Amino acid sequence: MGVAAAKSVANKKDLTGWRILQILTWLIGFGIFFCLVFYPSIGVILFWNILIPVAPLLIVLAVGVWRNVCPLASVNLLPRHFGFSKGRIMSASTQAKLGLISVLLLYFIVPLRHAVFNTNGHATAWLLFGMTITGLIMGTQFEWKSAWCSTLCPIHPVERLYGNNVLGAVKNAHCAECMNCVLPCPDSTPNMNPRVVKRSGYASVSGLLITGGLPGFVWGWFHVPDQHAFHSPMSFLGVYEMPVLGLAVTLSLYTILLQSKLIKESWLVRIFATAAVSCYYWYRIPSLLGFGIYTGDGMLFDAHGIIAEWIVSLLPVVFTLFFIYFLLIRKPNKKSWLIRPAFALRSRAAS
Ligand code: SF4
């Protein structure tokens, strides 16, 4: 057996655990999708009130683990894994444009949760189906994660912001060889953040929008109730009012602080990431337990009479202190999300 073949066998064995995890998470993902279609009220709880609330914490701690096992990524990367992707290298300018679209998609889709997705399992199923098909089509054309996970996925801007000081890098369970398909590769860049790439106007704007805008957007989002009926187009557009207002306020603050040069931008990014994720759990934990601003919205179960109110009030404080420690006090540890696999040319040269 040649050196390259031996390496390939060893690599496949190394990935057995990840493959099992990918299959398990795919089955869970498919189960949730099945519920959204056939048991919508259960599907909504499983997706919006269990899976999604866990995601920000996992992204902060170990976004590489999430990117290895995300069921949507596993589907979108099938064309590349099974060799029927054209594997085209996307130009840097297209990557930057898709990156900006992904931020705009995030800000467009998330308020629609109040309008429709939070209460409508079928609509959520269509949303997931649309994203899967789009990613799959992109995957037939473009190389590895440039097709979706590192460009167009609307969760990716949040990964870049929250995942700026993860616990450590794990093995890359998707890219067999590095084809340099994304520059810089978010998976392989130590302490990746949305402001790392500024070489194009699109990248600069998308970095600003997500870093400066997200804390206010999250705050505003929690100040909109779920809508159960719409009486006019204006009432539909109302779900955007508070999130956009909040976004504008924190984005302005970020821009002023950036221009003033009072605080280094690397610190600003960490402060704003901490603010956004802390704000999320500040409101999300009480609402999951039935103590939210709008009774019943986003509730997993009603903890009144089960968990003392002071404990529910304490939990967001504990989470906030944890994020302050994890994202602000801990020094940047120069870790990437994933360990970059060997570059294709180098490994081919070795074989
Ligand atoms: S590790 Fe290499 S091949 Fe994989 S996404 Fe990053 S740049 Fe592309």
End-to-end CA distance of the chain: 11
Is the pLDDT confidence value at 4 over 90?
no
Distance 61 CA to ligand 1 centre (A): 21
- Determine the atom of ligand 1 nearest the C-alpha atom of 150: 5
State pLDDT tens for residues 266-300. Answer: 999 999 999 999 999 999 999 999 999 998 899 99
State pLDDT tens for residues 173-196. Answer: 999 999 999 989 999 999 998 888
- How much is the average pLDDT of 67-94? 94
Rounded-to-integer distance, Cα 32 and Cα 47, Å: 7
Is the pLDDT confidence value at 234 over 80?
no
Distance 150 CA to ligand 1 centre (A): 9
pLDDT at 47: 97
Rounded-to-integer distance, Cα 172 and Cα 238, Å: 42
State pLDDT tens for residues 143-157. Answer: 999 999 999 999 999
Q: What is the mean pLDDT of the chain?
A: 92
Mutate to test the pocket of ligand 1, among 67, 98, 145, 339 (most ligand atoms within 8 A of CB): 145
- How much is the average pLDDT of 58-87? 95
The one-letter code for the residue type at 52 is I
State pLDDT tens for residues 35-44. Answer: 999 999 999 9
Residues with CB under 6 A from ligand 1: 144-145, 150, 172, 175, 178-182, 185, 187-188, 340
CA-based nearest residue to 71, from 90, 55, 49: 55
Q: Which two tokens stand for residue 6?
A: 């031996």
Mutate to test the pocket of ligand 1, among 148, 180, 337 (most ligand atoms within 8 A of CB): 180
SS3 content of the chain, % helix, strand, coil (to 5): 65, 0, 30
pLDDT at 347: 47
Q: Which two tokens stand for residue 213?
A: 């805008």
- Determine the atom of ligand 1 nearest the C-alpha atom of 177: 3
> Structure pTM?
0.92
Split at pLDDT 50, 70, 90, the class of 233 is confident
Chain centroid to CA 201: how far? Answer: 22
**Region of residue 191 (left: phi > 0; alpha: psi -120 to 50; beta: else):** left
- How much is the average pLDDT of 37-57? 97
